[in-house]
Structure 1
Amino acid sequence: MDSGLPKVHAFDAQSVLDYFNGGDEHGIFRPAAGSTRLPGRGKMLWLIPGHCDPTVNLHDVMIGVSGGLRNGVVHCLYPVDARGAMS
């Protein structure tokens, strides 16, 4: 199932971003309509990919987090055995 474009959450409530597709491994962030603010350098963004196969394929591990976006705690690391297998 493809869930569409990724969802972007900025912890700075003043910054609202839209995501534009740049391909499976790339994306473009722009201020949402009516906004001119971007999150400051070093601020955390939470990106939920629209589909995960090309994202997971690029990493050695997936990180399991529980507790929500602001207070999340890493509870496990899942090895990606097929890392780099999609090409």
Structure 2
Amino acid sequence: ELRKEVYEAYVTRASDRGPNAGKWDNSEIITEQLKLRHEISRMLGFNTYSEKSLATKMAETPDQVLGFLNDLATRAKPQGER
């Protein structure tokens, strides 16, 4: 029971949920940060923040990243089920 309580408090910290709901909620700050990231990305000629972020990385598109992650999950699942 204690483990569950600690886990719930940890995963809901600084949010509008959990035992301290709203006490340290930073949802508005996160929303503003996401809007600014998108705005800056558009100013720099990218359609999304994901595209901007990938400009300096090995993957070229968000679809490549998702494809890689889906493939990784498919390959890892049998190992996790053992």
Q: Tell me the TM-score normalised to structure 2 length.
A: 0.24
Query: Greater helix share, 1 or 2?
Result: 2
Larger radius of gyration: 2
